[in-house]
């Protein structure tokens, strides 16, 4: 009969509420100064537009990040033939 060996629990098998796992601390992401300044300026504009109501600063920052990452809107005519907005390109 084979002797059973008790194996220690591996770190991967332990549950942890952290998304990064047990004992792993996420590192801070690096952001260029230019990128940070663009997001900061856009977040300020968003906050200004809503009257600087407190409590939405993080939402303003995240929205600014999304807008900056998406880039400038493209100036293309709509592809929808049923679009009611008429432009020179689709008349």
The predicted-structure confidence for 72-83, as pLDDT tens digits, reads as follows: 766 655 566 665
Q: Rounded to two decimals, what is the model's pTM?
A: 0.50
Q: Would the CA dihedral through 11, 16, 21, 23 be positive or negative?
A: negative
Identify the DSSP state of 28: P
Domain residue ranges in the chain:
31-71
Residue for token pair 């084979």: 2
The predicted-structure confidence for 8-49, as pLDDT tens digits, reads as follows: 565 555 555 545 555 666 667 788 899 999 999 999 999 999
| Residues whose CB is less than 8 angstroms from the CB of residue 87 and which lie 6 or more positions away in sequence, other chains included | 77, 78
């Amino acid at each position: 009969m084979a002797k059973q060996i008790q194996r220690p629990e591996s770190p991967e098998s332990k549950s942890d509420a952290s998304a990064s796992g047990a004992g792993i601390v996420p590192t801070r992401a690096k952001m260029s100064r230019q990128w940070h300044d663009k997001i900061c300026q856009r977040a300020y504009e968003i906050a200004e537009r809503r009257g600087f109501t407190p409590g939405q600063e993080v939402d303003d920052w995240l929205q600014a990040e999304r807008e900056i990452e998406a880039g400038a809107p493209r100036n293309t005519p709509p592809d929808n033939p049923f679009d009611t907005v008429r432009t020179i390109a689709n008349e």
